[in-house]
């Protein structure tokens, strides 16, 4: 059984976007999160540090983040993962974006939010809000998760930084 919420909703609101995402483990209560350009100035992105494709994707997001708003950590870094209140099964199922006020967003929602923060533009969230696009991106993300170790990428983060990944770096 997946530990991801059954839905993540992004819809337009009077002040920008309302983003309902995961607030806790398996089938968590949903909270509303208003996104307007610049409203999220910092973000933590938790990813699979043993994955070549994930490491390349994170490197690409960091390259776009010229203002240094995004902190990245592999889920194999127990201290970082536990500080964000995430379990290993949750992190094996998806990347997670965590805002400073502790709102957590999994999967395609996390990637879109990370891109929006890196670019300091809501465009990725606007695209994600288009009817049908969210479902398509969520489906593509699920396929990537299942096949991530077959996709090309960089030397995995945990191979480059074994001290940050503990014993779970395989």
Tokens of 12: 């337009």
Q: Measuring CA to CA, which residue among 109, 106, 93, 136 is closest to residue 1?
A: 93
Neighbour tally for 8: CB within 10 Å? 21
User: What's the pTM value of the predicted model, to 2 decimals?
Assistant: 0.76
Please state, in angstroms and rounded to a whole number, the distance separating the CA atoms of residues 120 and 65.
9
Give pLDDT tens digits for 122-150.
Answer: 889 889 888 899 999 999 999 999 998 88
Which of 34-48, 52-66, 71-85, 120-134 comes out lowest in average pLDDT? 34-48
* CA-atom Rg of the chain in angstroms: 15
Q: Give the mean pLDDT of the chain.
A: 79
Q: Are 45 and 71 in contact (CB under 8 A)?
A: yes
pLDDT at 40 over 70: no
Cβ-in-10-Å burial (0-12, 13-18, 19+) of 117 comes to buried
Query: 9 with 106: CB under 8 angstroms?
Result: no
pLDDT at residue 4 greater than cutoff 60: no
Measured distance CA(35)–CA(112) in Å, rounded: 12
Q: What is the reported pLDDT for 139?
A: 95
Using an 8 Å Cβ cutoff, are 97 and 114 in contact?
yes
Beta strands in 38-149 (DSSP E): 43-47, 70-74, 96-98, 104-106
């Amino acid at each position: 059984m997946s530990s991801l919420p059954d839905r993540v909703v992004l819809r337009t609101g009077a002040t920008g976007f309302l983003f309902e995402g995961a607030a806790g483990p398996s089938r968590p209560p949903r909270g509303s999160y208003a996104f307007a350009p610049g409203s999220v100035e910092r973000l933590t992105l938790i990813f699979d540090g043993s994955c070549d494709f994930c490491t390349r994707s994170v490197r690409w997001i960091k390259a776009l983040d010229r203002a240094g708003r995004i902190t990245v950590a592999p889920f194999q870094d127990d201290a970082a993962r536990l500080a964000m209140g995430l379990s290993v099964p949750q992190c094996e199922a998806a990347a997670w974006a965590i805002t400073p006020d502790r709102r957590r967003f999994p999967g395609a929602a996390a990637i879109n939010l990370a891109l929006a923060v890196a670019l300091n533009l809501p465009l990725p969230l606007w695209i994600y809000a288009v009817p049908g696009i969210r479902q398509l991106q969520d489906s593509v993300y699920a396929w990537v998760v299942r096949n991530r170790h077959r996709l090309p990428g960089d030397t995995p983060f945990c191979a480059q930084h074994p001290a940050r990944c503990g014993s779970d770096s395989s």
